[in-house]
Structure 1
Amino acid sequence: MRRHDTTRPWGERALLTAYWALSGYGLRAIRAVAWLGAAMAVTIAVMVLWGQPADVPKPTTTGRQVSVGQKIVLTTDTSGPVNPTGPLAERVTTERFEKSLRVVIDSVVLRSSGQDLTTVGTYTEMASRIAEPVLLGLAVLTVRSRVKR
């Protein structure tokens, strides 16, 4: 009833509504697991279609030839990731799916994937590193309350 009480602050009511929608107040484990699965599926789809660069950026080393007895100066640069172009159907490959799956699973456990991602991929990974561990935590709390009874 606190969720429907109009005298409560709107932030508290919104938080309670989200808690109810995502995990049924910690009583419905399948709801929390379903939301986690849906969030991961959406994140994988975004990563496959827009998050992975078109090609893997390769480091380039340049230097200067110097006379005998002097130090060699070498500089290594890596170009930034290039956004994929072309039809969406051509972007869906097993290689891109596998890389996206690794990025998403890493983000669920709060680790950075270390992959070179496009701008869309970087922001998607950041959002998933916040949202998906919360959903995983709700699922764990729900299972814990079921086992505890």
Structure 2
Amino acid sequence: MHHYGSLDGQLIYIGGHLYSSFTSVPSASDLQAAYRALRKSQEDRKDEPGSADFYYGEMEMRRLGKIGSWPERIMLNLYWLVSGYGLRAWRSLTLLTAILLATAVLLQRFGLVHPVEFSDALLFSVQNSLSISSAKLSSALNNVGYWMQIVQRVSAPAFIALAVFALRGRVKR
């Protein structure tokens, strides 16, 4: 975890080191450039675990430094939240599970013309998210159900892809 900020107004804690407030504190963009250089050095030495750690630090400084336009900052915050910059598979899988459960509940209550059991709604959500063809309850969807189907078909592959990339990075190390 990389920390950037003041502890008590007199000491600053950055990356495991304490600095006096009289010492000049590097800006987030300076730290981002340092992390980038360290990451590049590790990549040149074929040290992928080390470069991944520096990549995370570089992206954190980029996110916390508030550099760039607001759409870029929103995307960067979402990338951090959803997948930890493509390095945390559990975040993507957790969000995928949450979306599947939430859409199953919403389908059961609002998305189908005729009421069904939760297990049927959950099965439909999983099938809808993982297959290209329509699941068996597609004909029983109302307008709310169709919108939830669209959300599932877009978000599930994205979360799965982010998880696969993060796992690939772990296995490759």
TM-score band, normalised by shorter chain: 0.5 to 0.7
Q: Residue type of the partner of 1:13?
A: R
Q: Is the 8 A contact 1:107 1:132 kept in 2?
A: no
Counterpart CA distance in 1 for 2:65 and 2:131 is 35
Q: Which structure would you say has the larger Rg? A: 1
Segments of structure 1 that go 5 or more residues without pairing to the other structure are: 55-90
Q: Is the 8 A contact 1:110 1:133 kept in 2?
A: no
Give matches, 1:110-149, under 5 Å.
111=132, 112-113=134-135, 115-116=138-139, 117-149=141-173
Segments of structure 2 that go 5 or more residues without pairing to the other structure are: 1-60
TM-score, normalised relative to structure 2: 0.57
SS across alignment from 1:25: coil
Distance 1:6 1:135, change over 3 A: same
Identity of aligned residues (%): 34
Aligned residue for 1:108?
Answer: 129
Following superposition, which runs of at least 4 residues in structure 1 exceed 6 angstroms of deviation?
none
Distance 1:3 1:110, change over 3 A: farther
Higher relative contact order (CA 8 A, sep 6+): 1
TM-score, normalised relative to structure 1: 0.66
Number of matched residues? 110
Which structure has greater helix proportion? 2
- The Cα shift of 1:113 comes to 2.5
